Structure formats: C-alpha cells, structure tokens
Structure 1
C-alpha cells in the first residue's frame, strides 16, 4: 500500500516544500497514467511506419524521403533527453512533464496537418524534442516519489512500455490507416497527449524542485564527465547500434515489401508482443549475470536471429518467430546499458542515464537511413547489414567489459596500496 500523501499545513512555504519531499505518490493511480504516457510518447516514433504508403501518395515523394520522417523524430527525441532531463530536476518533474505533454499535443496536431514532406520532417524534429521531455521526467519521478517497495515494479512496467511501444504503435497505426485517412493517427495522438496532461496533473504530487540556487549550466555540467568514462563509451555505442537494428528492421520490412497485405504485416508486428510481455519475468534470472554479460547475451541472441532471417525472409511464420527472438535479444540490451550507465556514473547517475537514452535514439536516427540504403537491394541484404551492425555491437560490448575490468583492477590495486602505506 502506498504511503499516504501528507497534508501540508498553511504557513511557511519553505517548510511545506521540505515536508512535501517525503510524500509518496499513490502507486495504483500513478502507474496506469505513466504506462499510457510512455506508450504514447515513444510510440510517436513508430506510428508513421505503417502510414508510409498513404503519406507517399499524398505528398508524392519516394521511400527515401519517408525514412526521414522516422529519423527526424529520433534526432529530436534524443536531444530532448539531454535537454529536459536536467531541467526536470531543476524546475520540477510534474511541471516539466505536464508542460511537455501539452506542447507535444500542439506539435503533433500540426504534424498531422502538414501539407508537404519537408514541413512534416521539420515538425517531426520539434515533435521529438518536446516529446523527449517526457521519459526523463517520468523516470526521475519514479525514482524519487514512488514508494520504495513499489519502485522496481513501476520502473520495470514503464521500461517495458517504452519497448512495447515499438510494436503496439505500429499495430494501432496500421488498424487506423486501414479504415481512416493517415492524418487521423496524428490527430488522435494530439488528443491523447492533451487528455494525459490533465491526468498527470491530477495524479502527480506537487513539485519540490531543488538546485535553483545554482547556475542553469550547473545542471548540465555532469554530461561531459559521463562521456569521459572509458568503459561506458563502447557500451553506449553498442546500445545505439542495437536500437538502429530495432528501428531499421521494421522500417526495412515496410520498404522491401517482403510481407504482403495488412493482415500479414499485423501478424508480423504482433508476434513480438508475447516476448515483450515476458521480458519483465526474465529480470530475476538475468540478474545472475553481470550487466555487460547481459548485454553480450542480448546481442548474441539478436545477431543469431538476424543472420537466420537472411535465409528465411520469404517465410512469414519463420520470419515472425525470428523477429520476436530479435526483439527479445534487443530488449535485454537496453535495460542493461541503462543500469550500467547508472552504476558507472556514480553521483552523476541521472546525467549518465540521460546520455544513455540519448545514445539509443541517435541509433534510432541511423536505423531508417540504413534501411533506406539496404532495403532496395532486397530483404537479404537488409538482414545481413543489420546483422553486421550487431556483430560490431558485440565487439564493442566485449571491449567495454575489458575496460571495466581493468578499471576495477586498478581501483582495487590503488585501495590495497593505500591500506599498505604506513601511517
């Protein structure tokens, strides 16, 4: 049961804010709204994929232009993590989150009304930027205002929602475009952002921001320090490549036309949902491995599935299973990278997590570009290209493990020397 919210007496505002820090959110009311917000926010990257054919016909552009609809959002989304992550700690998670939802509603509405591809690409960058304010604020709120006993469940539920949005958004988008004009999906998303903004304002506790007495640039000072953590850098790049594969494979399938008909596409996308739902159940068994070990396992599983897909791309049933396995492997990688970033970041844990999420969506920006280059040569070429990216990710993960072991050994040696040194 969640700790009841404290009733703050009227009086000294500073004293009231201090007491409000100890208040805990009601988990039962907060979790559903956070899950829906995570699905809607991250889903904005993927909803255009089933709309490609309709959007191309409306704007009279080629497939290469359409891939920028995905990459533009991913670019802005990545920037939003770094921009708004520190700001949410400074100005308040509730304020930044609600404001971000309202801004996302406006920009999403404008994107749905865009009358040309270049305008839509520009709006998608802005859309990604403002939507990028949502995940950092949610995760920071969970870490500080959710009852500690409930925190692991809420964190896993929200993280799974970010991943599940990859498939769920495409399924919903495909169902909508089969019955309505493609713009309906964006207009409906704008309504969803507006409704969730009011819901978030209702269920979240009032802000108790800290750090306003320090210069604004102080909020971003930890980011360059995170980038100097040598063991972390290869793992961040590996995570980025993994996300590039995740976005690239679904984008490439749409471009190659290897799967015909909306029914087959729907089955292909829905096939990964059971795996995504099962990922939280794997958290305990995976905890027996180190975080880099989990990354190696995830990359290996994903790489094997992608290589096998090069030979079985023409068989819908087999391809559906292989893509589900691929998603499962990639789903292991992202949480491991995030947790590794938090551990290696030390006191700069929040900044390290923001940088890790930034790297993921830099990779997501690259995914559609890779798909646009490889897909015209057939699904087999697309699959081999993505498999090579996973092999590179495996090498980088191994490098990160070695650097981490060296750093750990050096720290241990230094501590022993300090103890042995005579007083």
Structure 2
C-alpha cells in the first residue's frame, strides 16, 4: 500500500531516484486531511447518535434505524474499491474534489428523507460518494509527503477517522437536541461544500500518468492480493476490529449500559470519555514505531479485547466503564495504523489496490457492527460486549500469521 521509496509525481515536476521531489508541506496537509477524515468518515457514525429521533420521525424503531448506518457502511466499502484505483489513475486531489461535490448533494438529500426506505437508499448514495475521500487522502500522503513524515501523517489521519466515531456522535447529539436530526445533515453538507476551498489551496494536483493497463491494471491487482493468505487474514482482522468498534458504540446508544440508560447527558459524557485516547495515540506514534507493526497490531488487539471484556462487567459503574472505553478506543487507534503498515510491507507494488481493500474491510466491519448489536440487544449490554471481546480475540488469531512471518524474515 505504501512504499517509502516510491517516486511521486506532482505539479512541480517528476522525481527520479537521483532527484528527490519537492515534498508538500506536511503540517497544513496533515491538518486538512485529518479534519476532512473526521467529517467524511464521521458520516458513518452520526446516525448512531440519532437513532431514536430518526426512528420517531421516520415511523420505525431504533433497531430498524440501524440500517441507515449499515447501508452507508456497505456502500462506503464498495466505494473504496473504486476510489483507490481512480486516485492512482487521475490523482488524489481530483478524486477528493469530485467526491466532496457529490457527497454534499447526497448529504442534503438524506436530510429530506420522508421514511426509512428513502433514508436507507439515500444513505447508500451518501456512503458511495463519501468513499472518495479516504483512499485518495492516503494515496496523497504516499505521493506528496516526505517519507520521514508519512508515519506521523498516517497515524494522524487514521486516528482522525477513528475519532470521527466519537466527535461526530457528540456533535450530532448536540445539534439534534437543539435543531432536530435533519439539521445534522444540512450542517454536514455545508461543511463539505466549504472544505472545497482549502482542498484546492492546500493540496497539489498529481500529474495523470499512464500505467500501461490503465484502470484495468489497477483493478486487476485486487484479486492478486486476495490470493495471498496473510493479506486476507489481515483484511479479516480489520473487519473484526471495526465491527467491534462500531458494535460497542451502537450498544451504548441502544442497549444500555444499565447505569445510564435513558440519560442522554451521561451517554454524551461516556462517548466523550474516549477523546483523550484519540489525541494521545498520534502523539505517541514515535514511541510506538519502535515496535514492529505486526507486533503492535497483535498487542493492540489484545488490549482491546481485555478492555471490552472488563467493560462487560462494569455496566453499573459509569466511571470504570468510561476508563474501559478509553482503553478500548486507544487500542483500536493503535491497531489500525499498525495493520495498515503491515499490509504496506506485504504489498509495496499495489498501493491503490491495497488501500482500497483495506478501506473496504474497515467499512464492511463498520457495517456489520450495528447489526451485530441489533441482533444481540435482547441479551443486554454486558453480553453484547462479551461477544465483541470474542470477535477481537479472533482478530488476534488472524493477525498472528503476519507476526510469525515478520519474525522469520
């Protein structure tokens, strides 16, 4: 996915092994792409804080309203498969720009959905258009950010995408309380439209280049990657990680915890309790880099499983549960870039395809999370978290082949 010695092309010219490129300024690029990651990926999670008001308005139940999250997630996953190769072919800035325009229109459309059927259909379109951002942003980092800054950029951007689950739920809950759930989508659309200005000013265009087989060659790399068992296992571990991540937040929204069920202020505080972890993990990225990426992934999965298992026993203790959630989110934020780096090392010559498949895996998992919680709601908050902990243990098993391979090389 990422190749540290890749020779990017950009508006300033073409680099060669003997003539390093003029790299884009890292700080404004990272800030912009991280903020956009929160906004665009956060569209997946806004509805988790809106399930009750949406259900009331659309004439359905909160459990059925989870399909607005699942539909977005599956469409987002499918969109990754298109956006990764398109970004490689036409340039990241062009794809990000087109995606923002389309996502703005789709987000406005969601705000006027008259019933659940229309809401699910329009969320599908929104997910497909929003998917243009993330793989293009990661591709832009590869082509335009200096190698010594790429690790930091990757951690910040992926942490922003994970932070979206918390930040956008908090924002959506606050906006909906004052203006109604439809205003959440109006405001999101306005921010998308306004973001086109810094995108055009900060990001550099990438020169279109002929890859021989064009898009056909880019898409052909995907089945080749899927014939590699270790990579498939890593993609499946990503599904387990993200399904666990979203399942926990869906459980908070619709299944308990017993000590704060029905208390919107307490639920808001519980969601916000994970924010310090999402700030700390990028700051500690230099320390984490001392460990090999496969080892970091396995350790992070293990911490996530332990934190969720502990949380399943702490539903009656709000502060202790908040601490468990903080550790869980920190573990997920550490695991995601570690898995990305491991995939990168395994597929250095198929960056666009590898990014696309990784993102697809993320949002297949994110799509399954709400349905997992919805199916288990009758078991109660604690038992939902125990199932999630078991899914994370499966993630460890799936990541182990990469760790063993790294130790043998």
Q: TM-score, normalised by structure 2?
A: 0.91
Aligned-pair distance for 1:234? 1.6
Report the structure number with the largest CA radius of gyration. 1
Instruction: Give the match for residue 416 of structure 1.
Output: none
Aligned-pair distance for 1:16? 10
Aligned-pair distance for 1:296? 1.5
Q: Is the 8 A contact 1:229 1:344 kept in 2?
A: no
Aligned-pair distance for 1:23? 4.6
**Do the aligned partners of residues 159 and 109 (structure 1) sit closer, same or farther apart at CA in structure 2, a change above 3 Å counting?**
same
How many Å separate the matches in 1 of 2:250 and 2:33?
Answer: 27
Instruction: Give the match for residue 331 of structure 1.
Output: 333
Aligned-pair distance for 1:146? 2.8
Instruction: Give the match for residue 105 of structure 2.
Output: 106
Instruction: Give the match for residue 45 of structure 2.
Output: 46
Residue 237 (str. 1) matches residue 236 (str. 2) = yes
Residue 203 (str. 1) matches residue 202 (str. 2) = yes
How many Å separate the matches in 2 of 1:157 and 1:16?
Answer: 23
**Do the aligned partners of residues 218 and 309 (structure 1) sit closer, same or farther apart at CA in structure 2, a change above 3 Å counting?**
same
How many Å separate the matches in 2 of 1:147 and 1:238?
Answer: 29
Q: Which moved more, 1:27-36 or 1:275-284?
A: 27-36
Instruction: Give the match for residue 225 of structure 2.
Output: 226
Instruction: Give the match for residue 418 of structure 1.
Output: none
Instruction: Give the match for residue 186 of structure 2.
Output: 187
How many Å separate the matches in 2 of 1:106 and 1:219?
Answer: 28
Residue 129 (str. 1) matches residue 128 (str. 2) = yes
Instruction: Give the match for residue 171 of structure 1.
Output: 170
Instruction: Give the match for residue 370 of structure 1.
Output: 372
Aligned-pair distance for 1:400? 4.2
Aligned-pair distance for 1:189? 0.4
CA deviation profile, 1:350-380 (whole Å, cap 9, x unmatched): 3223211211111111101100011222111
Instruction: Give the match for residue 84 of structure 2.
Output: 85
Q: Is the 8 A contact 1:268 1:320 kept in 2?
A: yes
How many Å separate the matches in 2 of 1:117 and 1:217?
Answer: 37
Aligned-pair distance for 1:218? 1.3
**Do the aligned partners of residues 285 and 31 (structure 1) sit closer, same or farther apart at CA in structure 2, a change above 3 Å counting?**
closer
RMSD: 2.0
1:393 pairs with one of 395, 399, 404 = 395
Instruction: Give the match for residue 269 of structure 2.
Output: 267
Aligned-pair distance for 1:20? 6.3
2:317 pairs with one of 315, 318, 328 = 315
Aligned-pair distance for 1:76? 1.0
Q: TM-score, normalised by structure 1?
A: 0.88
Residue 94 (str. 1) matches residue 88 (str. 2) = no
Q: Highest relative contact order (Cα 8 Å, sep 6+), 1 or 2?
A: 2
How many Å separate the matches in 1 of 2:236 and 2:94?
Answer: 32
How many Å separate the matches in 1 of 2:98 and 2:381?
Answer: 42
How many Å separate the matches in 2 of 1:104 and 1:277?
Answer: 27
Aligned length: 393
TM alignment of 1:345-356, pairs within 5 A: 345-356=347-358
CA deviation profile, 1:31-85 (whole Å, cap 9, x unmatched): 3322221110111011111111110110111223111111111111111111111
How many Å separate the matches in 1 of 2:265 and 2:319?
Answer: 13
Which SS does the other structure have where 1:33 is aligned?
Answer: helix
**Do the aligned partners of residues 119 and 381 (structure 1) sit closer, same or farther apart at CA in structure 2, a change above 3 Å counting?**
same
How many Å separate the matches in 1 of 2:299 and 2:153?
Answer: 25
Aligned-pair distance for 1:148? 4.2
How many Å separate the matches in 2 of 1:125 and 1:224?
Answer: 25
Structure 2: state its 5+ residue gaps.
Answer: 1-8, 16-20
Which SS does the other structure have where 2:51 is aligned?
Answer: helix
Structure 1: state its 5+ residue gaps.
Answer: 1-14, 413-423
CA deviation profile, 1:399-421 (whole Å, cap 9, x unmatched): 4434x26xx85xx7xxxxxxxxx
Instruction: Give the match for residue 120 of structure 1.
Output: 119
Which SS does the other structure have where 1:32 is aligned?
Answer: helix
Aligned-pair distance for 1:389? 0.8
Q: Is the 8 A contact 2:256 2:380 kept in 1?
A: no
**Do the aligned partners of residues 214 and 285 (structure 1) sit closer, same or farther apart at CA in structure 2, a change above 3 Å counting?**
same
